[in-house]
Structure 1
């Protein structure tokens, strides 16, 4: 159980739920054709969402308890086994983030779980706090590349 934070205007259709070791990032208005989840560890959203995604990550890092949450130990090997479906022997999520432009959208792949309900136009992801900085860096890199054209 977590605490849903009050979204800021900069977060657009996103909101955050704070938990003990991870957070949920949810996008409302995730209509098919605008948002898709090509795989368990992938999400495709409009490139115009990058500022809202960054504002959502900022809300997590600006939380008063941010400094208390778990961080990776330097040199520790990434473990994404938590992202497997129960009882699954399927592929593990990549331990690193990849954000790539795809037309007027971006495809985000990484160490998270993506739940997409197109009937409710809702997508929710779970992200470990230890993975937030790398995701932020990947989003900023793509944003800068798109701005340069």
Structure 2
């Protein structure tokens, strides 16, 4: 079993279930269409070109998850993406599932970087930059994330909407910005949005006046 991550607004119709070595990309079957099941672990699937930015945002959420960092040591290019008649057709490594209402593709973390780059290359999604993890303009050393779960002995318990107490997870960027919440999602989302801002500022500083 994996952990269902809370979708960000930018992810639109997609959601992610993170596992240890892979993750499920989920959506309604009308959004994520399984077009062919080849010999495992290969399959073909497609999304509307208008959903490309949302799919990139879903992959960004995956890249912010701790399991991605654990299995990103040997990235591979396992997908081909083609744009045709308003659709993006993806042919690559994956384990598909589809019923009349729901569809999912299980993907490995080592294929995420190449899939994200391929989507940006063939779609109209913006920005066209590398992911901030790979962008040489982003000062990763200055903006390194330190995350930890606050201890009960500090008395810093929080209460969720149902009135249950929990130990918040907190994160601090090297520049001083902080985030906290229930589980890893709020910290990862806050940090990812922060790093997008850092990346945007770095590119703006190089833009012609």
TM-score category of the 2 structures, normalised to the smaller one: 0.7 to 0.9
Q: Residues 73-111 of structure 1, C-alpha deviation per residue, up to 9 Å, x if partnerless?
A: 7xxxx7xxxxxxxxxxxxxxxx63111112011111111
**Structure 1 length-normalised TM:** 0.73
Residue aligned with 2:56, SS: helix
Say yes or no: does 1:103 pair with 2:100.
Answer: no
Task: Name the structure where strand makes up a greater proportion of residues.
Answer: 2
Computing the radius of gyration from Cα coordinates, the structure with the larger value is 2
Alignment of 1:51-130 (within 5 A): 51-69=53-71, 71-72=73-74, 96-117=78-99, 119-120=100-101, 122-130=102-110
- Note the residue ranges of structure 2 that are not aligned, 5 or more in a row: 38-42, 126-209
Say yes or no: does 1:138 pair with 2:140.
Answer: no
- Note the residue ranges of structure 1 that are not aligned, 5 or more in a row: 79-94
* Greater RCO, CA 8 A, separation 6+: 1
The number of residues matched between the two structures is: 120
The answer to whether the Cα contact below 8 Å between 2:32 and 2:104 also exists between their aligned partners in 1 is: no
1:5 matched to which residue of 2? 5
Residue aligned with 2:123, SS: helix
The answer to whether the Cα contact below 8 Å between 2:34 and 2:45 also exists between their aligned partners in 1 is: yes
Distance (whole Å) between structure 1 residues aligned to residue 68 and residue 111 of structure 2 = 13
Q: Residues 43-81 of structure 1, C-alpha deviation per residue, up to 9 Å, x if partnerless?
A: 1210111101000000011124432235327xxxx7xxx
The answer to whether the Cα contact below 8 Å between 2:23 and 2:109 also exists between their aligned partners in 1 is: yes
The answer to whether the Cα contact below 8 Å between 1:37 and 1:116 also exists between their aligned partners in 2 is: yes
Distance (whole Å) between structure 1 residues aligned to residue 90 and residue 67 of structure 2 = 27
Cα–Cα, structure 1 residues 61 and 35, in superposed 2: closer, same or farther, change >3 Å? closer
**Structure 2 length-normalised TM:** 0.53
Please give the root-mean-square deviation of Cα atoms over the aligned residues, in Å: 2.0
Distance (whole Å) between structure 1 residues aligned to residue 124 and residue 50 of structure 2 = 12
